[in-house]
Amino acid sequence: MKLGLACGEVVSAEVRADMRILVVSQYYPPETNAPANRMSKMAQVWARSGADVTVLTGFPNHPEGAVYPGYRNRTPQVEHCNGVRVVRVPIFVAANEGRVKRSLAYLSFALSGASIGATLVQRPDVVVATSPQLLVAALGVWLARLFDRPFVLDLRDLWPDSVVAVGAASEDSPMVRGLRHLERFVYRSAQHIVIVSEGFRPHLSACGIPDERISFVPNGVDAGLFKPSAPDPEHWDPALFTLIFAGTVGLAHGLGTILDAASQLRDAPVRFLIVGSGAERATLEQRAREEDLGNVHFLGRVARQRIPALLAAANVALITLRPSPLFETVLPSKLFEAMGCSTPIFLAVDGEARRLLDESQAGVFVEPGNARELVKTIQRFSSPDDSSAGEQLKNMGEAGRSFVLDSFEREALADSYLALLRGIAE
């Protein structure tokens, strides 16, 4: 038989489910941030492979804090998309800015999921909760105990370390001290922890988690979507050297450095596209207006399906994070997406991401937070006097795509993840 899905896609339901997986994620498509993208692809592959997958999530509103058209954040809603049952529970909606409102949004999802959501899902064989914020993980622990099933933590970020790294709170604040206790409780409650970066492993070890309870399943690339494409006609300008940042415009990303570079390059045939929204967007846009930075264009949040064409309209993908030892542990998902589209990369992230870039030969490392070095790198590759620059960028793009398809194709990673879950559920 066939199932007609709310998202307009039809998939076969002939395979009898061999296990039930409950995924807990505050974000899910049509939201387009990293946890939504990661878990939606995993859930779809698991469902196609015969698992009965339910996702417990909130109503889409990230990052602007406004519920998306077609949804009403009043009563629970159940939809089916790509073979996955999606249970949405009402939450407090807030823009991705302001500590108090964001905390209320996180807390509301945990409480709504524990009370309303728990009554709308069937007893699973395994519960998977994806971070970064720890109340989602705590909800996963609660549901796993309610159903007496194993709990798997999908660890995408280190909290509360990230909160401290972006300056949102100090290490000795009551909030961070409380989060430290919650962090250790969640880690120790998990039968298994799946990490997206090997850089997280030493931290988990320091928290007393044995290595055999940790597995590495990185973000990878959706090869069917992120592939070489025709340039977006609205933003394609071969007369300009275009750099694109596509992702959350947040405190952690250090995008002020891009504006610093843009100020120094205001008279050069260079343009910066910033695609996405988040806590820092309004501040950055105001600064760009005040400094009359006509070479910086803010496109806002766009549909995920448009990103490959926008990447194709750029000469280089910019991937940045603030200089911090914590961010040396991460592998940004946009790194894999740019590689998939054969877009060369200027990477201002040290540590794990830099090591991956060096291995792939997909781009150039720039010291995080160093606008002067970024300017010099841009001038080097945009100079009309260097006839080899274009060929070098082309080779980087091709090397990146070959590398990511060989080792980081998300469908293959989802298959490995499913095999891990089956072993845990037995």
CATH code for the domain in which residue 215 is found: 3.40.50.2000
Q: Is the pLDDT of residue 32 over 90?
A: no
- List all residues 6 or more positions away from 267 whose beta carbon is below 8 Å from its beta carbon: none
Higher pLDDT, 96 or 99: 99
Quick one: what percent of the chain has pLDDT higher than 90?
83
H-helix or E-strand spanning residue 4: strand 2-4
d(CA 303, CA 322): 26
Higher pLDDT, 279 or 259: 259
How many structural domains does the chain have? 2
Q: 96 with 61: CB under 8 angstroms?
A: no
H-helix or E-strand spanning residue 21: strand 20-24
Q: Which domain holds residue 33?
A: 19-220+410-425
In this prediction, residue 133 carries a pLDDT of 86
Reading the block at residue 175, the tokens are 């909030």
d(CA 182, CA 281): 30
Rounded to the nearest integer, the mean pLDDT of the chain is: 92
Q: Do 267 and 156 fall within a single domain?
A: no
Reading the block at residue 50, the tokens are 């015969």
Q: Do 283 and 199 fall within a single domain?
A: no
- List all residues 6 or more positions away from 87 whose beta carbon is below 8 Å from its beta carbon: 54, 55, 56, 57, 76, 77, 78, 117, 120, 121
Reading the block at residue 185, the tokens are 């409780």
The arithmetic mean of pLDDT across residues 146-155, rounded, is 98
SS3 of 83, please?
coil
Reading the block at residue 259, the tokens are 């504006």
d(CA 381, CA 372): 15
Q: Do 320 and 415 fall within a single domain?
A: no
Beta bridge partners of 135: none
Q: Do 202 and 321 fall within a single domain?
A: no
The arithmetic mean of pLDDT across residues 32-36, rounded, is 89
The arithmetic mean of pLDDT across residues 285-297, rounded, is 98
In this prediction, residue 40 carries a pLDDT of 96
Q: Do 203 and 171 fall within a single domain?
A: yes
